[in-house]
Structures are given as C-alpha cells and as structure tokens.
Amino acid sequence: MTSGAIVVGVGGGIAAYKVADVVSKLVQRGKSVRVVMTHNATKFVGAATFAALTSHPVAITNFSSSYPLGPHIELAENCSLLVVAPATARLLASCAHGLADNLLATLYLNCQCPVLMAPAMSAPMWDKPAVQRNVDQLRKDGVRLVGPEEGWLSCRKRGTGRMAEPQQILKSIDEILQASSN
C-alpha cells in the first residue's frame, strides 16, 4: 500500500473536541492529514480548528471548489486510512447500510483503505439492538472499532458510550498503519 493521507471524519457528537487532539498529534508525527466534518460536527468544533491544525481545507459538503471532482473522490484516491471519530449512531447506520446521505458516509463508500471507527453516543443508544446490528455489520465489512468505553457521558450519567481517549485512537491508528505496511 502506498503511503497516503490519513483522512479523519468528524461526526456530530460532543466528543468531537477530542478529535482535535488526535489530528494535532498525527500532524506532529509528520503524517499528512485531511479532515471531513459532518454538518452537525461543526456545531461542536469549528472547521477553522482543523484547517489550522492540518494546513488544509476542511471538507463539509459534497460540493467544494477545493475538490473539483468531489471530495469523496479526491480524498479517497490517496487515503491510507479513514478514521471516523466520533462515530455517531447515525454514521454507523449510514455506513452499515451503504447510505450516501452525507459527505462522510459517501467518502466511506468510496474508500478502499482500512477504516477505523471510534463510536460515541449515550449508553441507551449504544445498547439498542439496531445499533449493535450496525456495529456487527461494520465489523463483518472489515471496519475496525476502538471503544466505546465505560465512563462519564455528556448526558451526565455513567455508562458505555464514551469515545475512546485520543491516545487509544492513536494506538489503533499505529497498529493499522503498521499492519498495512507489511
């Protein structure tokens, strides 16, 4: 596999703030990083944050003058790893069912590289049979998941659904890239 960019897809959950740390550390390691955000993700962290960290424009919509062929095509062409964090219940469902209902899900469908997802949601959502069916399907499709963890959630309750910490996501990224280079 050729060495390409790591594309980080940021979903619309409060855990999006942790992804800025992941992106920053990847860039500090000399990795080429591009960021795709869902519209809801921009409600939690601004696109300017990721543009500043990566020195590249952030893709949010399917149509962008920065990507004449479409970001889902151009970003997938040189992608060595797609990381989706936080992977919300909506993103898990879209990807598991092959729905191209937003840029990130469309990019997922077009990528031919390894995919890592870091789920994050409330404990009742994570425990829902429909979400677990989607997770099972994604695993069968070859998607690797990191987390979620048990802990304090933004709903002010404890439970499973907390996104993995940045260092755990980075460890999973390293493992996938190492395996891909062999």
Catalytic amino acids?
Answer: 155
Strand-pairing partners, residue 15, are none
Q: Is 37 left (phi over 0), alpha (psi -120 to 50) or beta?
A: beta
Nearest Cα to Cα of residue 145 among 59, 63, 80, 87: 87
Tokens 């429909």 belong to 130
